[in-house]
Structure 1
Amino acid sequence: MSNVKQGLAATALIMASFSSIGAQQCSDVSLQILGSGGPELDDGRASTSYLIWHEDKARVLVDVGSGASIGFDKAGAKFSDVDAILLSHLHTDHAGDLPSFIKGSYFTSRDKVLAIFGPQGNRVMASTNEYAQALLGKQGAFRYLSDYVEGNENYKLDIRSVAPTKQNEFKQSLQSDLAVNAMTVNHGPIPALAWKVSIAGCELVFAGDMTDKFGTFTDFAKNADVVVMHNAIDENASGGAKNLHITPSKITKVLIEAAPKTAVLSHFMNRSLKNQQLFKKSLIKSLKSNVVFAEDGLKINL
Structure 2
Amino acid sequence: MKLNILGCYAATPRSLNNPTAQVLEIKNHLFLIDCGEGTQVQLRKNKVRFSRINHIFISHLHGDHFFGLPGLVSTFRLLGRKTPLHVYGPKGIKEALTLLLKLGDSWTNYPLLFHELTSSDSELIFEDDTVSVSTIPLQHRVYTNGFLFKEKPGLRQLNVAAAEKYRIDRCYYQNIKNGKDIRLDDNKLVPNAELTFDPPKPKSYAFCSDTAYTTSIVPLIKDVDVLYHEATFLETEKDLAPKTKHATAKEAASIAKAANVGKLILGHFSTRYKSIELFKEEAETIFSNVALADDGKEFDL
Q: Residues 233 and 242 of structure 1 are in contact (CA less than 8 Å); yes or no, is this contact kept in structure 2? A: no
Shift, 1:258, TM fit: 1.6
- TM-score, normalised via structure 2 length: 0.76
Q: Deviations over 1:1-54 (max 9, x none)?
A: xxxxxxxxxxxxxxxxxxxxxxxxxxxx10000001122244721110010124
Structure 1 segment 227-266 matched on structure 2, within 5 A = 227-235=227-235, 236-238=237-239, 242-266=243-267
AA of the residue aligned to 1:40? T
Q: Deviations over 1:51-96 (max 9, x none)?
A: 01247x6610000001211111112111211121100111111001
The aligned residue for residue 287 of structure 2 is: 287
For the pair shown, which has the larger CA radius of gyration, 1 or 2?
2
Shift, 1:279, TM fit: 3.1
Structure 1 distance, partners of 2:241, 2:11, is: 15
Q: 1:39 to 1:282 in 2, by over 3 A?
A: closer
* 1:118 has 2:89 as partner: yes
Q: 1:240 to 1:165 in 2, by over 3 A?
A: closer
The aligned residue for residue 35 of structure 1 is: 7
* 1:211 has 2:212 as partner: yes
The aligned residue for residue 148 of structure 2 is: 196
Structure 1 segment 91-170 matched on structure 2, within 5 A = 91-108=62-79, 110-120=81-91, 127-136=92-101, 138=102, 140=103, 142=104, 144-146=105-107, 148=108, 153=109, 155-166=110-121, 169-170=122-123
Q: Deviations over 1:121-165 (max 9, x none)?
A: xxxxxx2222222323x3x4x3x232x3xxxx2x21111211223
Q: Residues 51 and 61 of structure 1 are in contact (CA less than 8 Å); yes or no, is this contact kept in structure 2? A: yes
AA of the residue aligned to 1:263? L
Q: 1:240 to 1:263 in 2, by over 3 A?
A: closer
Shift, 1:118, TM fit: 0.8
Helix, strand or coil at the partner of 1:111? coil
* Residue in structure 1 matching 2:124, options 165, 171, 174: 171
Structure 1 distance, partners of 2:49, 2:127, is: 18
- Shift >6 Å, 4+ stretches: none
Structure 2 distance, partners of 1:110, 1:257, is: 44
Helix, strand or coil at the partner of 1:228? strand
Q: Any stretches of 5+ residues in structure 1 without a counterpart?
A: 1-28, 121-126
Helix, strand or coil at the partner of 2:210? coil
Q: 1:43 to 1:260 in 2, by over 3 A?
A: farther
The aligned residue for residue 301 of structure 1 is: 300
Q: Any stretches of 5+ residues in structure 2 without a counterpart?
A: 153-201
Structure 1 distance, partners of 2:254, 2:30, is: 31
Q: 1:165 to 1:280 in 2, by over 3 A?
A: same
The aligned residue for residue 37 of structure 2 is: 66
AA of the residue aligned to 2:291? V
Q: Residues 254 and 286 of structure 2 are in contact (CA less than 8 Å); yes or no, is this contact kept in structure 1? A: no
Q: 1:135 to 1:33 in 2, by over 3 A?
A: same
Structure 1 distance, partners of 2:278, 2:9, is: 19
Shift, 1:266, TM fit: 1.0
Q: Residues 81 and 110 of structure 1 are in contact (CA less than 8 Å); yes or no, is this contact kept in structure 2? A: no
**RMSD of aligned alpha carbons:** 2.3
Instruction: Kindly indicate which of the two structures has a greater share of residues assigned to helix.
Output: 1
Structure 2 distance, partners of 1:231, 1:184, is: 17
